[in-house]
Structure 1
Amino acid sequence: MNAKSNVKEVMNKKLKPILSELRNFSNDIEAAAVMSRDGINIASVMDDTVDPDRLGAMCASLLSLGDKTSAELKRGKLKQVLIEGEQGCILMVQIGQRAVLAVVSKPTSNLGMVFLEAKKTVKTIIDSKLI
C-alpha cells in the first residue's frame, strides 16, 4: 500500500463517523460525502443508489461552474451550491480550499435544518484538522 492510499484510508476512517452522525440526524438525508474539489471521493456514507465516484465528478463540475459564475457576477468567493429537484436536494458546502461536503436529501427534508447540520459538520471536519 502506498503512502497516498494509506492517508486516504486514515481520512476515510476518521471522517465516516462524522458523516454518519450527519446522515443519522434525519431520515431525510440520504447521503453525505466529503470529496476533493476535483471530485475524488475521500469518505462517504450512502446507500447503493448513489455512486460516490459519480457524485464526486458531478459535484466537481458544479463547483467549477459555481466558482466561475460567482466571480463573473462579482458575488465573492463561492461558499455553497444548492440544487433542488422534484425528488430532493443536493447541497454542497466548501470545506476550506481543497474539499467539499455534499449532502443528498429527500424532497420532504427541512432545508433549513439540512443547511444548519451541514455547516456544523463542516466545522467539525475543519476542527478535526483532517482537511
Structure 2
Amino acid sequence: MEKTSETLNKIAQDFITTTVNIGGVYIASLDGLLIAHASKISTDPDRVAAMVASLSAVGDRVSKELLSEETTHVIVQSRTGYIIIKRHGDLVFGVLVQGNDDSTIGLTMLELERLIGIISKQTK
C-alpha cells in the first residue's frame, strides 16, 4: 500500500503541475481516509479528504432521493474557484480549481477523467 500511495502522490503532483488552474487534488477512500494528495495551498489534507468523501456521500444521497440515481459529480463553487468531487469505484477525487472562469469547468472535468484513467491503470 505504501508503494501505491507514493505512486498516487506522484501522479497527483504531476496533475497539479501540468493542468492549468488546479490548486490541489485529493484522493480519498469512501469513508474519508486520505490515500494521496498534492496541493499548492497550505491545508490539512486528512481533513480535506474527509470533507470530500462526506460531500460525495451527501450528493449521492440527495441525488438518489430526488432524481432516483447516483450523482456523476458534485461541484462546490465560490467567487474565487470551485471544487469538483467525483467518485470512481471505491475512491473519491476532489479537485480544487482556482479562478472563477466558468468556462474551465468542462476542461477540468476532462482532465479529471484523464487522471482517473491513469490512476485506474496504476491500481489494477
Structure 2-normalised TM-score? 0.88
Question: What does the per-residue CA deviation read over 1:2-45, in whole Å, with 9 as the maximum and x for residues that have no partner?
Answer: xxxxx2x2221111221122211234111011111111110111
- 2: CA distance, partners of 1:32 / 1:59: 10
Match of 1:13 in 2: 6
What percentage of aligned pairs have identical amino acids? 27
- 2: CA distance, partners of 1:129 / 1:54: 24
Aligned length: 122
Q: Say what the alpha-carbon RMSD is for the aligned residues.
A: 1.6
- 1: CA distance, partners of 2:92 / 2:66: 22
Match of 1:107 in 2: 99
Question: Structure 2 matches for 1:58-73, cutoff 5 A?
Answer: 58-73=51-66
Match of 1:81 in 2: 74
Instruction: Report the secondary structure of 1:103's partner residue.
Output: strand
Match of 2:50 in 1: 57
| Misfit runs of 4+, over 4 Å | none
Alpha-carbon deviation of 1:48? Answer: 4.7
**Which of 11, 18, 23 lines up with 1:25 in the alignment?**
18
Q: Which runs of 5+ in 2 are unaligned?
A: none
- 2: CA distance, partners of 1:64 / 1:117: 22
Q: Which runs of 5+ in 1 are unaligned?
A: 1-6
Match of 1:118 in 2: 112
Q: Does 1:44 align with 2:71?
A: no
Match of 1:92 in 2: 85
